[in-house]
Amino acid sequence: MEKVKTLLKEFTKVEGVIVSALVSFDGFLIDGIGPQDVDLEDMAVAASTAFGLGNRLGENIKGGEINQIMLEYNKRSVIVSKLPDVDVILFIVGEDNSNLGAIRYSIKKHGIELSKTL
């Protein structure tokens, strides 16, 4: 799990990113990095639920399998992304100054390696 932690830290190097976590499709937190006042386990449940709902919407619109969800709030943004070849979701939270493009690039860059460590 040390390798997982190291890779999760790569995401928090992107400006504004405050949380990076891995969540199973069942909604359980596998590992994560975030501020002390953030309940990562609660976030894991919400992230898996959002992903499930997104998946359901994908079925409705005949959109195929879901890969990624982006949610933009007034103060923060969230990217929930499926990792390749595993039933695991990567969950990233950024402050309002975070660059979503940079986060998505970071997911592309480290996602496969992260999958292989699981």
Considering only 28, 39, 95, 96, the residue that binds other proteins (CB under 8 A) is 28
The residue from 2, 26, 37, 65 that contacts other proteins (CB under 8 A) is 26
Which one of 49-57, 67-75, 89-97, 105-113 is the stretch in contact with other proteins (CB under 8 A)? 49-57
DSSP string, 93-107: EEETT--HHHHHHHH
Task: Indicate if the alpha-carbon torsion angle 23, 111, 51, 26 is positive or negative.
Answer: negative
Question: Are 45 and 118 spatial neighbours (Cβ–Cβ below 8 Å)?
Answer: no
- By C-alpha distance, which of 76, 81, 85 is closest to 107? 81
Number of residues that bind other proteins (CB under 8 A): 18
Q: Rank residues 28 and 105 by Cβ distance to other proteins and give the closer one.
A: 28
Cβ-proximal residues to 64 (8 Å cutoff; 6+ apart), any chain: 58
Q: Should residue 55 be labelled a site residue for other proteins when binding is judged by CB under 8 A? A: yes
- Binding-site ranges for other proteins (CB under 8 A): 24-28, 30, 42, 44-45, 48-49, 52-57, 87
